[in-house]
Homo-oligomer: A and B are copies of this chain.
Amino acid sequence: MALAEAILVCLTERPMSGYDLAKYFDASIGFFWRSSHQQIYRELGKLREKGYVSSQEVEQDGKPNRITHTVTPEGRAALYEWSKRPSRHPSIKDEMFVKFYALDSIDMEAFEDQLTNRMEYHKTRLSQYLRIKERFYDGKTLNLNQQGKLIALEMGIDGERQNIRQIEDAIIKTGGLERS
């Protein structure tokens, strides 16, 4: 259950509201641990119950009030304990590969469209990563935290480049099969 920890990691950086967290997930840590706002709000409730975060309501004029959440010392301790426990291997679930396992039972034309779509997705990802790298990391002096994030980001960049190459390849191979 690393959603709780992913949230704690974000809040270690600065206190945030559920809404902030949801956006931060969409643009940053969520590249490696996807989560919806509903899940985040629910998890925040659990973290508050456990005493790992404390919540403060902030009055706002006009907009609805926001509730910001701060990591408590107990939360920090829990995060440190979690960091010592072995990381689970990532769970892999990819429909696309399942379809590769059944080329003789599927609609190949439709599948090739899906491959193209998947390549677009990886290209979008890659350019997001590159933009983030350029904006926040290139030519800057980085502290330990930032260096860690940069390592993750560079792995992401590398990974996406490979994904793009792989799918290009797969499209060519798959196209060849149809005509045989």
Contacts from A to B (Cβ < 8 Å) = 2, 5-6, 9, 12, 29, 31-34, 76, 79-80, 83-84, 86-107, 110-111, 114, 117-118, 121, 143-145, 147-149, 151-152, 155, 158-159, 162, 166, 170, 173-174, 177
Partner of A90, one of B12, B94, B162: B94
Residue of chain B at shortest CB distance from A76:
B105
How many copies the complex holds: the figure is 2
> Which applies to chain A's interface (DSSP): helix, strand, loop or mixed?
helix
- Residues B145 and A102 in contact, CB atoms below 8 Å apart: yes
Q: In the complex the two chains form, is A34's CB within 8 Å of B106's CB?
A: no
Could you tell me the distance between the alpha carbons of A89 and B124 in the complex, rounded to whole angstroms? 13
The answer to whether A101 touches B149 (Cβ under 8 A) is: yes
Please give the distance in Å from A72's CB to the nearest CB on chain B. Answer: 13
Contacts of A96 in B (CB 8 A): 87, 90
B12–A105 CB distance below 8 A? yes
Are A143 and B91 within 8 A (Cβ)?
no
